[in-house]
Amino acid sequence: MTLDDSLIEALRNDYRTAPITPRERVMCEYVVKLSKDATQCSSADLDGLRVAGFDDTGILQITLIASWFNYINRVADALGVGRGSAPEKP
């Protein structure tokens, strides 16, 4: 977590050019891949996280948190949260 508005903005624009550590960049790459198509994640991705310094517990936590955010955002999108209106009743 950070309260650094410039870092938040840099991450929103493109994590690949944001001023983060190589370890954080590897984590972001994994999370983006997981979010786009989790079926494309492989043991090589997990090995990359381990090389970056994450243990199995850390990898599990990263995966669970990213997956939960993906899930809850889809639920919110489906229910119209933030759009000002709920889906129409059948």
What percent of the chain stands above pLDDT 70?
Answer: 90
Higher pLDDT, 37 or 83: 37
What is the rounded distance in angstroms from the CA atom of residue 87 to the CA atom of residue 90? 9
Which of 13-34 are b and which e, b meaning 16 or more Cβ less than 10 Å from the residue's Cβ?
Answer: eebeebebeeeeebbbbbbeeb
Query: Is 89 a domain residue?
Result: no
Domain count, the chain: 1
* 37: in domain: yes
- 26-64 per-position pLDDT tens digit: 999 999 999 999 999 999 999 999 999 999 999 999 999
Which residue segment(s) compose the domain that 57 sits in?
A: 21-79
pLDDT value at position 70?
96
Q: What pTM was estimated for this model as a whole?
A: 0.81
Q: Flag whether pLDDT at 86 surpasses 60.
A: no
> Is residue 35 in a domain?
yes
Query: Per the domain annotation, does 13 fall within a domain?
Result: no
The pLDDT value recorded for residue 87 is: 59
Q: What is the mean pLDDT of residues 12-30?
A: 94
Domain membership of residue 1 (yes or no) is no
